[in-house]
Amino acid sequence: MLVTPLVHLPLFAPGMALGRELLAAAARQGEALGAGDVLVVAQKIVSKCEGRAVRLGDMTPGEAAAKLVGATGRAAGLAQLILDESSEIMRASPAAIIARHRTGHVLANAGIDASNVEGGGDDTVLLWPRDPDASARALRAELAALSGAVPAVVIADSLGRAWRVGTVGTAIGCAGLAAIDDQRGGTDLFGRTLQATVIAVADAVAAMAVLAMGEAAEGTPAAIVRGAARWITVDDGPGMAPGLRPVEEDMFR
Q: Which pTM value belongs to this model?
A: 0.94
The average confidence (pLDDT) of the chain is 94
Share of the chain above pLDDT 90, in %: 90
Is the separation of the CB atoms in 225 and 1 below 8 Å?
yes
- C-alpha neighbours within 13 Å on the C-beta side of residue 14: 8
DSSP label of 230: G
- Which residues make Cβ contacts (< 8 Å) with residue 161, sequence separation at least 6? 167, 168
User: Which residues pair with residue 154 across a beta bridge?
Assistant: 40, 174
Whole-number CA gyration radius for the chain: 19
Q: Can you list the domains of the chain with their CATH numbers?
A: 2-51+129-237 (3.30.1330.100), 54-125 (3.90.1660.10)
Three-state DSSP at 209 gives helix
User: Which residues pair with residue 39 across a beta bridge?
Assistant: 153, 224
Q: 119 pLDDT band (50/70/90 cuts)?
A: low
Confidence check: pLDDT of 120 > 80: no
Q: Which helix (H) or strand (E) holds 3?
A: strand 2-5
Question: 171: phi > 0 → left, psi -120 to 50 → alpha, else beta; which?
Answer: beta
Is the separation of the CB atoms in 226 and 2 below 8 Å?
yes
